[in-house]
Amino acid sequence: MEDLLTGLRIIDSTTMVAMPTATHILADMGAEVIKIENHTAPRSEGGGVFLDNKPGSKFWNRDGLFHMLQRSKLDLTLNLRTDEGQESFKSLASISDVIIENNRAGSMGRLGLDYEEIKKIKPDIIYVSNTGFGYTGPWQQYAGIGRMFELTCGLSQLTGYTDEGPRRVGAAFYDVPVGWTAVFAIMSALLHRQKTGEGQWIDFAMYQIGVSTIGDTILDFVANKRNGQVMGNAHPFYAPHNVYQTEGEDKWIAIGTENDTHWNNLCEIMNNPDWSQSNEYSDSFSRYKNREQLDLLLSDWTKTQNNLQLSNLLQSKGVPAGPVLNSKELLLDEHLNHRQFYERITHNPSDDIGEQMYSGRAWKMSNSTTKIRGPGPALGEHNDYILSQLLGYDEDTIGDFYDLGIISDEPNNQRSSTNPPSLEKLLEEGTISEFDVDFKSILGLA
């Protein structure tokens, strides 16, 4: 078994979620990803998620979402506003294959580190500039965040309960798909480089990637002048297709029939109640037209049953069904654990985090190892390795860099740590639905 991307070096000068997602996948695949951080600004990729809800000292190295998004990477702090910082960036660029950055359009140019400059020292560099809307057009200076693209890309037009307006689903939905598409773009550019020796600059706009996922809906307007509407959990033409409450607190089962065989098998499992044979529900068109009433009847049937057992029963007769799983149930899920979807990672003792579980990837390859190489790096953790081993700087120079604030292993502008809200408060306001004080033993964390 080999690493997929051995020998590839990637400079990751990105923040937020989308591009860090792309680079941690590349790092999991075996590329050497060097995260370049600006230690003069607060570390911002976290989400206020700390072990036992306590930030602790050096909290900037302890945020769970930081570790999730930045795992497998090396870390170099670099103040890019200094000449030395810019020179070091260029030296590193000259021995790298790919640069990814997500600053506002034009920022890298002002630092003298845009594609045109880097190309002079590394002609075949692949340079990705990720922005919300791209480097051209009237919206080029508008900033983008994942959370807003669900609206602007058109997905919210279709999403929400049918008795109210649009509503968001998921957290910052388009960040992650855009990250995945970035991996595709980078690999495609590398394949092109392999054939031609050519690098290139990729103007990578989140907006177009999001809009492209609803192409059929756009064509519906082009051809039929229809503008879409909020759908609830409904299928466009088949019912039942929704979630139904089951036994227990906030437990639900999804049942998604898509043809008459599914429906007939569902009826058989329900022992063909009289209502299922009535005119309102006996054919698919009527079921669709009467789907709200049908959902109530089905809920009556599901509400006394266990969602996991019922979905296994429905699945055994070929009816697409599954429990609505929450984060805890996912981590404990037998199937996902059989496939080792969540990976257990032991942190450096100095971070006092112990062992943690992180989402892996949705795929496995038969001939390649892909895995989380290690937790997210501490700020400046690999300064010495990168500057001395990769760039050949001597000890004195590196010492000067620390003294001059060109590199650092502590953020010099970090806001003081505010304690996250207590779990009791989050429960009271409804941000969380439950919490376990003994979660470590539930998950078997060392």
Partner 1 sequence: MATTALDNIRVLDISDGISGAYCTKYLADYGADVIKIEEPNTGNTTRHMGPFFHDEPHREKSLLYFYLNCNKRSVTLDISKNTGKKIFLELLVEMDVLVENFQPGYLEQIGLTYEELKQKFPNLIILSLSSFGQTGPRSSHFGNDLIYYAMSGIMHISGAYGRSPLKHGHPQSYYMAGMTAAYTVTAALFSRLTNNSGQQIDVSLQEVSTSHHYNGPTRYSYTGAVESRATKIEGSSFKGVKFEGIVKSKDGYIGASSQQGRQRPLFSTYAEMLDIPELSDEKFSTNTGRIENAQELDEILLPILEQWNKYDYFDKTMSEGWVTGVVQTPEDLLNCPQLKNREYFIEVEHPIIGKITIPGEIFRLPNCPWKFTRTAPLLGQHNTEIYCQELNYNKDDVIILRQGGII
Q: Which of 9, 90, 119, 168 binds partner 1 (CB under 8 A)?
A: 168
CB nearer partner 1, residue 339 or residue 385: 339
DSSP three-state, residue 380? coil
Residues 65-84 that bind partner 1 (CB under 8 A): 65, 67-69
249 is an interface residue for partner 1 by CB under 8 A? no
Q: Which of 271, 350, 367, 416 binds partner 1 (CB under 8 A)?
A: 367
Q: Which of 40, 84, 111, 254 binds partner 1 (CB under 8 A)?
A: 254
Amino acid letter, residue 155: L
User: Which of 335, 312, 316 lies closest to 253 in space, CA to CA?
Assistant: 312
Q: Which of 91, 286, 368, 388 binds partner 1 (CB under 8 A)?
A: 368
Q: For residues 63 and 54, give the distance between their C-alpha atoms in angstroms, rounded to a whole number.
A: 10
CB nearer partner 1, residue 111 or residue 426: 426
Q: How many C-beta neighbours within 10 Å does residue 310 have?
A: 21
Least Cβ distance, residue 198 to partner 1 (angstroms):
5
Q: Contacts with partner 1: how many residues (CB under 8 A)? A: 171
Angle at 131 between CA 125 and CA 135, to 5 degrees: 80
Spatial CB neighbours of 407, under 8 Å, sequence gap ≥ 6: 39, 76, 77, 78, 79, 380, 383, 387, 398, 401
Element (H, E) at 219: helix 215-224
CB nearer partner 1, residue 154 or residue 380: 154
165 is an interface residue for partner 1 by CB under 8 A? yes
Q: Which stretch binds partner 1 (CB under 8 A): 80-88, 197-205, 273-281, 382-390?
A: 197-205
362 is an interface residue for partner 1 by CB under 8 A? yes
Q: For residues 66 and 376, give the distance between their C-alpha atoms in angstroms, rounded to a whole number.
A: 7
Q: Is the dihedral of CA 36, 37, 40, 41 positive or negative?
A: positive
Per-residue mark of binding to partner 1, 306-345 (x: CB under 8 A): ---------x--xxxxxxxxxxx-xx--xxx-xx-xx---
CB nearer partner 1, residue 91 or residue 265: 265
363 is an interface residue for partner 1 by CB under 8 A? yes
What's CA 294's distance to the chain center, in Å? 36
194 is an interface residue for partner 1 by CB under 8 A? yes
CB nearer partner 1, residue 341 or residue 402: 341
What token pair was written down for 279? 């005119």
SS (H, E, C) 108-122: HHHCCCCHHHHHHHC
285 is an interface residue for partner 1 by CB under 8 A? no
Least Cβ distance, residue 209 to partner 1 (angstroms):
6
Q: How far apart are the first and last CA of the chain?
A: 28
Q: For residues 299 and 253, give the distance between their C-alpha atoms in angstroms, rounded to a whole number.
A: 10
DSSP structural state of residue 167: -
263 is an interface residue for partner 1 by CB under 8 A? no
The string of DSSP codes covering 123-159 is TT-EEEEEESS-SSSTTTT----HHHHHHHTSGGGG-
Q: Which stretch binds partner 1 (CB under 8 A): 51-59, 270-278, 385-393, 405-413?
A: 51-59
Residues 426-445 that bind partner 1 (CB under 8 A): 426, 429-440, 442-443, 445
Residues 120-159 that bind partner 1 (CB under 8 A): 133-134, 136-139, 141-145, 147-159
Least Cβ distance, residue 435 to partner 1 (angstroms):
4
